[in-house]
Amino acid sequence: MDKQKFAFDKINFILLAIGMVVVILGFVLMTGPSSTETLFQSDIFSVRRIKVAPVVCFLGFIFMIYAVLHKPKVRK
């Protein structure tokens, strides 16, 4: 088969996988102890869960968009 018929190249899939790992890392950073009716955990308002994790997820999604739009170099 001719490689020109595929929309994505191997590098696109690698970049998509890296972006997915970054997004999963962001969601893992959001996890932590939860509050109950009897016990309040102030950790739900930590900087890691409120600011860092959403930014990491956002950057992962932006990187995945770049991976989809990345056009591989054509070899002659």
Q: What is the C-alpha separation between 7 and 61, in angstroms, rounded?
A: 20
* Amino acid 76: pLDDT: 67
pLDDT in tens, 46-75: 999 999 999 999 999 999 999 999 887 776
Domain hosting residue 16, numbered range: 3-69
Q: Report the alpha-carbon distance of residue 41 to residue 10 in Å, rounded.
A: 45
Cα end-to-end distance, the chain, whole Å: 16
In a domain, 74, yes or no: no
In a domain, 75, yes or no: no
pLDDT of residue 71: 85
pLDDT at 14: 95
Q: For residue 65, is it within any domain?
A: yes
SS3 of 68, please?
helix
11 assigned to some structural domain: yes
- For the entire predicted model, the pTM comes to 0.82
Domain contains 76: no
**How large is the average pLDDT for residues 14-24?**
97
Q: Is residue 23 in a domain?
A: yes
- Residue 26 placed within a domain: yes
Tens of pLDDT, residues 23-49: 999 999 999 888 888 888 888 889 999
Count of structural domains, the chain: 1
